Each structure stands twice: as structure tokens, then as C-alpha cells.
Structure 1
Amino acid sequence: MAEETGQEKTEEPTSKRLREAREKGDIPRSKELTTTVLLLAAGLAALLFGGQVAIQMMAMMKSNFALDQAAISDPSQMVVHLVQSLVDAFLSLWVLFALLFVAAVIGPIALGGWNFSAEALQPKGSRINPLAGIKRMFSLNAVIELLKGMAKFFLVGVVAIVVLLMDRPEISSLAKQNINTATAHAIEIVIWSFLLMSAAMILITLIDVPFQVYSYNKKLKMTLQEVKDEMKNTEGKPEVKGRIRQMQREISRRRMMKEVPEADVVITNPTHYSVAIRYDADRGNAPFVVAKGVDFVALKIREIAHEHEVPILASPALARALYHASEVGEEVPVGLYKSVAQVLAYVFQLRRYKQRLESEEPVAPTEDEIEIPGALRVDPE
């Protein structure tokens, strides 16, 4: 699509594009990482358990070469001996096989994680298309693979030469040792040489892994138009719209709750409704609603108001009227000016009393004293 529109792929891949790529089996992988893990695991396994395995295998071989004429002539004994030899070989080698199996599993998933895709197993014509094959042979990836192969050959060769030069005296002394000592010493030299050559692969891996991640992200990059089209298609789905609305409500509720401490009063129906009111002369001539809610949200509004010492006045009829006739951030309806003014007058007098500016504590208006116009009155549910 980028070629068709002439746009460059400058945008990072979206989570949807990454998810779709994984579903197709397209994930970042490093063959060098897998190879290095396997080689190091094999070398460490040989170093840790090689001696024990060698002793067990030598004992098994001695047993196999110590058969008498009667055993050789009896097929049943030979079958039993063969089965026993296979069991002994398995018991000797199972630790090595287990470590190699774990390494073979960890190596591929170390980059990109575990992923199974049935789509990746499906046959594709491009895999057997000779033109596509020729194109891959002369692609940038092919050149990079060639360079990596040359680098591996060079590094391993250099390490092998260095090891031979360092171990030359020990290798020369093997001829002067008895067979058992020389064999054990030679195996030790081979194992350490193998480990050092495997360690050289780490340098290639340290370069290859970041490169594979970079190449993968670059391949999945999108044009700005692709990002816009994806957002348009995604947001059109009902479940996505519902999730967006839910997130918007949550953000709005959190913002609303932050305004409660700034309210002058919270008017409640103690069991269901809470409406927080504030009067700011700089904003306008009428008080406005800073927060409102029912049930759980109403309870949270009351809790926040209590924590910040915002006055709470129980007036079920006024709370219901304000909740149904006003919106957060808007001025209270004109029909409720007088009712809200009665409440605010009490609140401001109470504030002055607490500041010791008035000698008598004001009395809160009762439910009967707060008048609600019939058109705005809401009956209890």
C-alpha cells in the first residue's frame, strides 16, 4: 500500500498490526541466538557431565566386547543384551539430551516469545516460486546472511588458531601419557576449545539480535494513512466503541472527583444521589455543578467531601432535581436558583460561624423549607 500511495512508512506499528503479524507467525527470530544457546549448552553439558558419561559409556563398551561364544550363539541373549545396552546408553546420555532439549526450546523463544500459528504452516506458492527465490537470493537479507557467515567463519577460525597455539604444549605431551590419561586430557582440551569457539558466537549474536528487532519493526512500520484507516475501521466496531465510551466515562468520573474538594456544598439524598455545587463569582452569576452521581459514585462523592470538610446537606428532593436537570460543569437550572441559594446562604453562614465571624450557629434549611418547582420535581424511585 505504501508503494501505491507513494507514502513512506514512518509510523511505528500499532498493537493491532503486531497482533496480526503474530497470528500469521511473523515474529522476530534470531538463528544466531538459537545456535549460540545450543552450542553453549552442549559445551557446558559436556564440561559438567562429560566425564561421568565417558566412564559409563566405556563401561558399556567393555561389557559389549566381553561376550562369550554361548551368548553370541543365543539370539535371545543377544536381544536381551541389546536392549540392556540401549537402556544403559539412554541412562548415560539422558542428562545431555535433556539440557540440549531445553536449550533448543529456550533459544528460539528468547526473542519474540512463544508463538504458534497454523497459518504459518499452510503452503504458500511464493515459497516454491523460482522468481521469488531468486529475488530473495539477491536481497539485502541475503547479503547480510553472507556477511554473518563470513564473520562466523573468521571468528571461529581465529579462536581455533589461538586455542591450538595456547594448547600446543599440552597437545604435544599427550603422546607421553598412558591411554586413559591421554584420552581424558584430550577430551578436556576439545571441550574447552569447543566452549571458547561457541563463546565467539556471542559476538555475532549481540549484533544479530538488535538487527533482527530493528528489521522486524521496520518491516511492520506503517504509513500515516494506514494508521488512520486502521483507527477508523477499529473504532467503528461496536465492542471498541463501547470500550472507548467506558474509558471516557472513567476519565470523566476521575476528573469530576478531583473537583469535589473545591465544592461549596454537597447536596444528597442520603441513599442514592449526591450533587456537588460551587459558586464562583469570577465564573458567573449562578452556581454550577462540579460533580454528581448515584449509588456508588454518590457514596464516593460524599466520602471525598467528608475527607476535605466540604459541608454535606441532606435534601432528597433538591438532590434528585439537580441530578436530573443539570450536567457537570453547567450552571444549575434557573428554576432551582432560589432552592440552591437557600442552601448556599446556610453554607456561607456556617463558614463564617466556624471562622468565629458570627456568634450564632446557623440552622440548616429543612426539606419543607426548600422549595422545588413542580416542573423540576422528581418523585422517588
Structure 2
Amino acid sequence: MAENENGQDKTEDPTAKRVKESRDKGETTRSKELNTLVIMMAGAGGLLVFGGQLAEMMLELMRINFTLPREVIMDDHYMGLYFLNAGKAALVAIQPLMLTMVLAALIGPIALGGWLFSTDAMVPKFSRMNPLSGIKRMFSVNALVELVKAFAKFFIILIVALVVLSKDRGDLVSIAHEPLELAIIHSVQVVGWSALWMACGLIIIAAVDVPFQLWESHKKLLMTKQEVRDEHRDSDGRPEVKQRIRQLQREMSQRRMMTKIPDADVIITNPTHFAVALKYDPEEGGAPMLLAKGSDFLALKIREIGAEHNILLLESPALARSIYYSTELDQEIPAGLYLAVAQVLAYVYQIRQHRAGKGKRPDPLGDMPIPSDLRRDS
């Protein structure tokens, strides 16, 4: 079981943040054996596919360069020209095979760990130049595994090569008795199939190395329980910081709420523990909106601001509690409270008419029609 520098067991799976940080550093799962297998398979396959074309181009080069006219032999200026033409022809001939190899060299590394580009991986690490660290790596478990894989590759490829050569012994002997053109094409085919079979022998090594590399990579990323807790705390924020942020948010929200109170039509109170400020705009045609609400000290501040701006204060404990618990700021009141709030707004309108000398003072409101599911007892 892995341990960290504090001696704690690393038993927890790595978090997404830990995996991302590892990839940012250029650390990801890679298998050299898988890369070697892909490149050898691609090379052998390319040799079988493009081998005939390559052999024919080789024969053509041999004909051109070994059957020279007398004037070419006697003039050394032709040597560079023939060499340049031969190089161009050779490049054209091997181009499909080389492109196949380059593509395999790109696919092999990303087949397991995916595409990864990290500038951190290019930064020199002087710790790797420490002789003591180098000696420690030489006698580590990873070094032993690499040694075992090297011997395994050697013996597997040796056995496969002996089997393939034994099987192709007749073809190898017959090549010596074939015409030159057929012998070259035949040789390319034999080499291609032999390389393919030897590459297939590496499947065994890759099948063992890939799970090992996945396990080793996962093991390096394991975390202790304390590391997981610390990461979650850092990601979510420290409790005292979050508490301070919430406090600041509440204060900002309260300040914004207080600035809206002068626009209210009525403030309904408990009368001391709760206060809610409502506004109704008949032009918009919606339901009354809750501009502000608060309890205890905040309710007192709402009443004070309302008194400063001559907003009608109406005592209705049941309705104040219902609106306080059922409605959020800047939201419309629930449909169940429409009738009760309509009576309040009608009362406010009559009070304004009375104060303007255009009507008599209305009778005080009685009990409000509040549905049982919206009623909050004190």
C-alpha cells in the first residue's frame, strides 16, 4: 500500500483536479511496448503493401546507375546529377512507407494516454541529474520490471524469428536460384512477413505492459484521506472565508432591498417581528411584488424607512407571516394570497382618498382570507 511522506496510507482514488494537475505537468500513462508494437506492425504492414513498388524502384535505380553510357563515365560532371536523380527517386519510392511509419509513431503514444502537450514537461529538472537519485532508480522496482521486459522481448522475438526462419527456409533457398528481379521482390515479401510475425510476438509483451502501466500510473495518483479533504476544502473554499462571503452577500442584498422600500405601496407588519413591503403596478397587469422583507431588527428598519417616506403601515400578523415565508424578494406573491392582498391594496387606496379629502375613512380590515397551506402560525 502506497504511503506519502507523512506515513499516511494512500487509499483514495485521485480526484479530477489531481488528474488534471498531473496531465498539466506532462505526466500521463504511456507504454513503450505498445508504441514499439504499433510502429513494428505499421512498418511490416507498409513493407508488405508498398514492398512491390519499392522493389521495382530499386531495380530501376540499379539499371540506371549500373548501365552508364561511355560519355557519362568519362565526364565527372554527370556523377552529381546521377546521384541527385537517384536520391529523388529513392525518396519517392520510400515516401509511402515513411509516411506510414510517421503516422504509427504519432498514434502509438496517444493510443493509451491520449494527446498531451505540456510546457512543464520541457522544463529541465535538475533533480534528475542527482547521482544518488539515478542509482536509486537503477535499483527500483520499475528498473527490475524494465529488465524483465527486455529479456522477455529478446526471448520471444528470438523464438518467433527461429520459427519464421525455419518455416521460410525453402523460400530463402529458392531466392538464390531466381532471376535478380524476382529475387528482390521475393526478398522484400519474405522480410515483410517475417517482420510482421515478429511484431505479433510483441503483442504478448504489450498485453502485460499496458495493464501494468495503467496500474502504476493510478498508484502514483492515489491520495490519502487528508489530501482529499484538503483538496475539497480548497476547492469549495475555507469555512471562515465562505461565511464571510455569505455575510457580505447578505449585507449587499439588504442594502439593495432597503433602497426599494420608498417605492412600496404598503408595508404589512406583525407588528414587531415581521415586516413586508409590497408594490402593485396596475399598468403591468401582474400580481403585487415583494420589494422587501425582514424580521426583528431588519423589520424595524423597514418600518422606519417606510415612516420616513409616508408609506402606509398596516398591522396584519397572519398576512405578514404568510408573505414573509412564501415569497422571495422581487417575486410576485402566491396566487393563494391574491384576495387578501387585494383587500389590503383597496384599503390603501381608500386611505389615500381620505387623506386627500375625497372620501371618508374606511373601516379597519378584519381577518384576512389566507389559505391554510400558506398560513404560518406565530
TM over 0.5: yes
Show the counterpart of 1:217. 218
Instruction: Report how far residue 67 of structure 1 moved.
Output: 2.4
| Corresponding position of 1:229 | 230
Alignment of 1:222-261 (within 5 A): 222-236=223-237
CA positional deviation for 1:185? 2.5
Could you say which residue in structure 2 is the equivalent of 1:122? 123
Tell me, yes or no, if the aligned pair for 1:315 and 1:367 is still in contact at 8 Å. Answer: no
Question: CA shift at 1:133, angstroms?
Answer: 1.1
Deviation at 1:196, TM superposition (A): 0.5
One-letter identity of the residue aligned with 2:151: M
Q: Is the 8 A contact 2:12 2:225 kept in 1?
A: yes
Q: 1:336·1:372 contact (CA, 8 Å) conserved in 2?
A: no
Cross-structure match for 1:102: 103
**Counterpart in the other structure of 1:316:** 287
Note if contact 2:29-2:112 (Cα within 8 Å) is conserved in structure 1: yes
Q: Distance in 2 between matches of 1:158 and 1:69?
A: 51
The Cα shift of 1:135 comes to 0.7
Shift in alpha-carbon separation, 1:215–1:73, aligned structure 2, 3 A: same
SS at the partner of 1:316? Answer: coil
User: Quick one: distance in 2 between partners of 1:173 and 1:338?
Assistant: 102
SS at match of 1:26: coil
Q: In structure 2, how many angstroms separate the alpha carbons of the residues matched to 1:165 and 1:153?
A: 18
Asked if the contact 1:39–1:198 (Cα under 8 Å) also holds between the matched residues in 2, the reply is: yes
Give the corresponding residue for 1:142. Answer: 143
1:178/1:77 Cα in 2 relative to 1: closer, same or farther (>3 Å)?
closer
Q: Partners of 2:81 and 2:167 in 1: how far apart?
A: 47
Using the TM superposition, give the Cα deviation of residue 2 of structure 1 relative to its aligned residue in structure 2, in angstroms.
4.7
Flag the 1:170–1:85 CA change in 2: closer, same or farther, 3 A: closer
* CA pair 315-101 structure 1, distance change in 2 beyond 3 A: closer
The Cα shift of 1:149 comes to 1.1
- Contact kept, 8 Å, 1:18 with 1:220, in 2: the verdict is yes
| Contact in 1 for aligned 2:55/2:184 (Cα 8 Å) | no
Could you tell me which runs of 5 or more consecutive residues in structure 2 were left unpaired when the two chains were aligned. Answer: 247-284, 295-316, 327-333, 349-378
Paired residue for 1:293? none
**1:65–1:11 CA distance, 2 compared to 1 (3 A):** same
Aligned to 2:152: 151
Which letter does structure 1 place at the counterpart of 2:61? M
1:191 shift after superposition: 1.3
Q: CA contact under 8 A between 2:28 and 2:113: conserved in structure 1?
A: yes
Do 2:4 and 2:10's aligned partners in 1 also have CA atoms closer than 8 Å? no
Kindly report the root-mean-square deviation, in angstroms, between the aligned alpha carbons of the 2 structures: 3.4
Structure 1, unaligned runs of 5 or more? 246-313, 327-332, 346-363, 375-381
- Alpha-carbon offset, residue 178 of structure 1: 3.2
Q: Distance in 2 between matches of 1:343 and 1:179?
A: 98
The residue type equivalent to 2:69 in the other structure is D
Distance in 1 of aligned mates of 2:226 and 2:162: 55
Aligned mates of 1:59, 1:315 — CA distance in 2: 90
Change (3 A) 1:108 1:336: same
Per-residue displacement from partner, 1:276-307 (whole Å, max 9, x unpaired)?
xxxxxxxxxxxxxxxxxxxxxxxxxxxxxxxx
Q: Offset at 1:365?
A: 5.1
Task: Report the 3-state secondary structure (helix = DSSP H, G, I; strand = E; otherwise coil) of the residue aligned with 1:192.
Answer: helix
Contact 1:12 1:221 in 2 (8 A): yes
Give the equivalent residue in structure 1 for 2:15.
14
Matched with 2:364 is: none
Please tell me the residue identity of whatever aligns with 1:168. R
Corresponding residue for 2:182? 181
TM-score (norm 1): 0.64
Structure-1 residue corresponding to 2:330: none
Q: What is the 5 A alignment of 1:1-381?
A: 2-236=3-237, 316-317=287-288, 320-321=289-290, 325=293, 334-336=318-320, 344=336, 368-369=342-343
CA distance in 2, matches of 1:373, 1:36: 88
**Residues 1:365 and 1:208: Cα distance change in structure 2 (over 3 Å):** same
1:198, distance to aligned residue in structure 2 (A) = 0.3
Contact 1:24 1:120 (C-alpha < 8 Å) held by counterparts: yes
Partners in 1 of 2:4 and 2:343 — Cα distance?
74
| 2:179 counterpart letter in structure 1 | N
Residue 343 of structure 1 deviates from its aligned partner by: 6.1
Kept in 1: contact 2:11–2:225 (CA 8 A):
yes
Q: Structure 1 residues 182 and 79, CA, compared in 2 at 3 Å: closer, same or farther?
A: closer
- Give the Cα separation in 2 of the matches to 1:372 and 1:140: 86
Q: Distance in 1 between matches of 2:347 and 2:163?
A: 98
Counterparts in 2 of 1:371 and 1:219: CA distance versus 1, 3 Å: same
Compute the displacement of 1:10 (Å): 0.7
Task: Note if contact 2:33-2:206 (Cα within 8 Å) is conserved in structure 1.
Answer: yes
In 2, the alpha carbon distance for the partners of 1:232 and 1:337 equals 38
